[in-house]
Amino acid sequence: MHVKAKTVALGGLLLALTVVFMVLGSIIETSTLFLLAAASFFVGIVVREFGLKMGGGFYLAAVLLGFITAPNKFYVLTFAAMGFYIWGIEAVWRWLEKRHEMRQRHKVFWISKFVIFNIVYLPIVFLFRDMLFSQSISNGVMAVVIAGGQIGLFIYDRAYDYMQAHIWGKIRGKVL
């Protein structure tokens, strides 16, 4: 595999920023979700600029470096879930781009987003129930947590779209 120097340099810089954001998320407790979301957005940048394989390698490297450097390993797992979601929706988008004959691709894309999110989110909520909540909670509260996650997905996805279109769109021309 032949990799260009510019690809390696930008990938290394983005990987360093990703790890710094993960570590800062462990240190600055009030901004943890914001910093972990920002770190996961770099996965999407690498996928869009260099492809799914490079994005997958970037994602794995970020998770491994996060486990080595971040003080709170639970936040690295949170980043891993967020990064997997970003990588997954970018993969679905690339797959849908090749399917011009498919009708209502936008609806298929949104359904795919919810499926990928819930494949990650629901097992975490149910399997780590005792770890996430300090006491036993009712099924009604669990329903609220699940619904809240869906609302959180919408906010997270809008933030990602904004970052790609506006922030990275402005920086991209200067960096590449």
Task: List, for residues 46-91, the tens digit of each pLDDT value.
Answer: 999 999 999 999 999 999 999 999 888 889 999 999 999 999 999 9
Written as one string, the DSSP assignment of 101-141 is: T-S-HHHHHHHHHHHHHHHHHHHHHHHTHHHH-SS---HHH
Write down the pLDDT at residue 102: 79
**CA distance linking residue 119 with residue 61, whole number of Å:** 22
Task: Report the pLDDT value the prediction gives residue 66, as an integer from 0 to 100.
Answer: 94
3-state SS class at 29: helix
Which regions in the chain score pLDDT beneath 70? Answer: 1-3, 176
